[in-house]
Structure 1
Amino acid sequence: MNRNVVIQKLKTKAERKIVISDIHGNLDLYQALLHKIDYKPGIDCLILLGDLVEKGKRNLDTLHYIMHQVQTEDVHCIMGNCDFIAKNVLYSYRLDFLKHVLGFRTASLIHEMAKSLNIEINENSNMSQICQILRKHYLDELCFLNDLPHVLEDDAHIYVHAGIESNENYGTDFKHVMTHAFFLESNQVFKKNIIVGHMPVTEYCSHIASFDPIYDVKHNIYSIDGGNMVKFGGQLNALIFEKNIVKVERCDFLKERKVIQNVDYHTQIPFFITFNHGNIQILERNSIQSKVYCPYNNRTFWVENEFVTNDMKAYDYTNYEIPLKKGDTVKEVFAYQDKVQIKKNGILGWTYRSNLE
């Protein structure tokens, strides 16, 4: 298998470029976002930063929809690490690992393909035989994902799923550009704007968590993955370039709740616990809360037990009580005890149930 990084020049005459990342088989949300931003097929240029499939409920439908867009519109895709699953099937590559992944990832393109052929994939499956059958019936789909470039580039931007190594060397192996961890924390200053997905932007938050795209002006990096299909409060983001203006739009299907009374700002030191740095040590525990210590944040705090996982994490917990005004509309993320974790304008926090209609 050729593991070189495939780079293509982005050729478009469109005045508006729209970048979306990490659709993850969530076709309904993808279509809703396109409608919200008034996407004009054939007029706008649409750039999809990979992870088109996996984790959502409509992976095969999403793939067919995007394949049609690429064939008929000014739509360009790059490969994400989740799209790599097509290579596993196409080349019968690392089949034991593929079976392992499919064992815990029930929402998968490969499961959907197999189900359409009345094939069940389980621990006793002959993956070599199954891959042969899938290649026979879904060769076009597998080849579409397999043939995606890893990097797109124009005069001002570099579009890549996770990150590049440097200005001079984008990566010596395609794994580098698809799985580069914490790229926003790079010390390099890039000559062009680098636009990436892959890592949910909340993973860069330590105080107040926001799901909106982040722009690091010092290093010229846009990170736009809103955590769709990965985070309870996740959203699908669109980064829009039009002339000299950059805009952001977001879309999610979270339930809307109306605020029925004012909630004033309380003096506090907010903090947020991420997934990657969410390891905790339990110091005390009762039926409602646990007193925990988080080494990464160097904090000891009480947290509701609903946030304490079996693998000793407390990720996506925030102590930030969002100020609210009567009549505001917020999104419900997670209800627990007498509180509700909510999202307001892309920002995560909490409020008491009694404050909501």
Structure 2
Amino acid sequence: MQKAAVKQVSFPKGKRIIVISDIHGHLQNFQNLLKKVGYSKEDILVIDGDVLEKGPQSLATLRYVMQLAKEYTVYQVLGNNDWLWDELEMEDKQANEDLLDYMLSRNSIFNEMCMELGIKVSEQMDVTAMKRQLKAAFQAEWDYLRELPDILESEHYIFVHAGIESEDLQQQEKIKCVKNDWFFSREISFSRWCIVGHFPTCLYDKEKIDCAVLIDRKRKLISIDGGCVVKNSGQLNALIIPEDGSEEFAWDCVDDLPKAVAVQAQSASEQAHSIHWPDNVVQVIKQEGDLSLCREENSGIEMWIPSSLLVEWRGKMYTDETTDYQLEIDAGDEVSVVARTSRGALVKRNGLLGWYFGTLEDITENK
């Protein structure tokens, strides 16, 4: 068992602690969120893992964080998507084939590094030579990632990317700290606040889809991954702790969805059905314009889904998280627009996804 690396820290009183996780290479969202919460050198920033992968700018985001760490008070723990240096150390044929398949299927930090060096990623490339070049050219980046702890421990808080098995932090297994799905739904509690990311919060409520920060005061457990990049309705969340020892938590968020203002008010629907990963295989019953009536394969739930949210893969049809819930909206509310259809718009307000059937007025970038 590879044990987790634990870093102990003492936070000074009177400073805000801002916690962000699962940036996933979305530099613009990260910068916008820091600006929105008024981040300054008077604050402490904790990045709770997964700075890298899935998004458009992993390398630039990593370098931005590294520069912040030189000028500000920044702590970061390792996430499963940051644990990449082992890929460069393994030089057997199968490891090379797996890495190449990974690079051919998505934009990764490896692809971005190759682009910076002028290396063309193709099925014919010499993977062993590429690994040697990346190790040499980006030693500062790899060293930074390699030195990250798996757990950050203070008097009142435990920060870990995915989860821990107990508060005996010296006996934790590294892999379970960086990858521990459905952790918030487990029957586990703590004497100090345990703050995790890794698993999008929208997956925990089976009736509604809500990307908000989850705070369980009884168990002293907080989950903050808003699904940035990985969900169509996702967002980047920040947990705001007023000062060390405080339990007066607040949170804020940003996303890169179009913004609009609701003209008319509407009330919430009494019932809600949602389709979530991993039960998101659907059968299309019929199509009408830009909507598809679909039946979820396992539950049999039927609902109209924007056709733009359907993806066919390996002979099956999948949808991203979607719902038939009608949001409560007041006139003048600002919403994030996930999908517009001829019958209404799928929108998000305060992290909660639902339908709005009134008029939306677009907010221009300069407004």
TM-score (norm 1): 0.91
SS of the residue corresponding to residue 100 of structure 2 reads: helix
Separation (CA, whole Å) in 2 of partners of 1:19 and 1:212? 14
Secondary structure at 1:103 match in 2: helix
1:147 CA displacement: 1.6
Matches within 5 A, 1:1-357: 3-13=2-12, 15-41=15-41, 43-90=42-89, 92=91, 94-106=95-107, 108-168=108-168, 172-243=172-243, 244=246, 245-266=248-269, 268-280=270-282, 282=283, 284-287=285-288, 288-295=291-298, 298-304=299-305, 306=307, 307-310=309-312, 311-352=316-357, 355-357=359-361
For the residue of structure 2 that corresponds to 1:313, the secondary structure is strand
When residues 300 and 58 of structure 1 are mapped into structure 2, their CA distance, relative to the original with a 3 A threshold, is: closer
Q: In 2, Cα distance between the equivalents of 1:238 and 1:61?
A: 20
Amino acid at match of 2:360: L
CA shift for structure 1 position 285? 3.5
Provide the identity percentage: 28
The answer (yes or no) to whether the contact 2:344–2:356 under 8 Å persists in 1 is: yes
Q: Is the 8 A contact 1:205 1:272 kept in 2?
A: no
Structure 1 moving runs of 4+ over 4 Å: 90-93, 169-172
Report the CA distance shift for 1:111/1:182 in structure 2 as closer, same or farther (over 3 A): same
The residue identity in structure 2 corresponding to 1:210 is D
Distance 1:291 1:136, change over 3 A: closer
Q: Is this contact kept in 2: 1:170–1:177, CA < 8 A?
A: no
Deviations 1:149-193 (A, max 9, x none): 111111111111111122336765321111101000111222221
Structure 2 CA distance, aligned partners of 1:171 and 1:290? Answer: 50
Structure 1 unmatched runs, 5+: none
Letter in structure 1 aligned against 2:77: I
Indicate how the Cα distance of structure 1 residues 217 and 27 shifts in structure 2: closer, same or farther if over 3 A, else same. Answer: same
How far apart, in 2, do the equivalents of 1:119 and 1:162 lie? 34
Question: Cα distance, 1:223 vs. partner?
Answer: 0.4
Q: Deviations over 1:82-107 (max 9, x none)?
A: 1112331255583332222212112x
From the superposition, tell whether residues 278 and 171 of structure 1 become closer, same or farther in structure 2 (CA, over 3 Å): farther
Q: CA contact under 8 A between 2:231 and 2:320: conserved in structure 1?
A: no
Q: Give, in angstroms, the shift of residue 303 of structure 1.
A: 2.8
Deviates more, 1:229-238 or 1:305-314: 305-314
Secondary structure at 1:29 match in 2: helix
Give 1:276 shift: 2.1
Amino acid corresponding to residue 86 of structure 1 in structure 2: W
Structure 1 residues 289 and 56: alpha-carbon distance in aligned structure 2, compared to 1, 3 A threshold: closer
Give the Cα–Cα distance (whole angstroms) in 1 for the partners of residues 223 and 164 of structure 2.
Answer: 13
- SS of the counterpart of 2:325? coil
Give me the whole-angstrom Cα distance separating, in 2, the residues matched to 1:223 and 1:170: 22
CA distance in 2, matches of 1:95, 1:175: 22
Contact 1:208–1:272 (8 Å) recurs in 2: yes
2: CA distance between counterparts of 1:264 and 1:55? 36
Change (3 A) 1:302 1:28: closer
Q: What TM-score, normalized by structure 2, do the two folds share?
A: 0.88
> 1:95/1:143 Cα in 2 relative to 1: closer, same or farther (>3 Å)?
farther
SS, match of residue 309 in structure 1:
strand
CA 1:252–1:116 in structure 2 vs 1: closer, same or farther (change >3 Å)?
same
Moved more, 233-242 or 313-322: 313-322
SS in 1 for 2:356: strand
Contact 2:268 2:325 in 1 (8 A): no
Partner Cα separation in structure 2 for residue 305 and residue 255 of structure 1: 16
Separation of aligned partners in 1, 2:53 and 2:116: 16
The question of whether the paired residues in 2 share the 8 Å contact of 1:78 and 1:150 is answered with yes
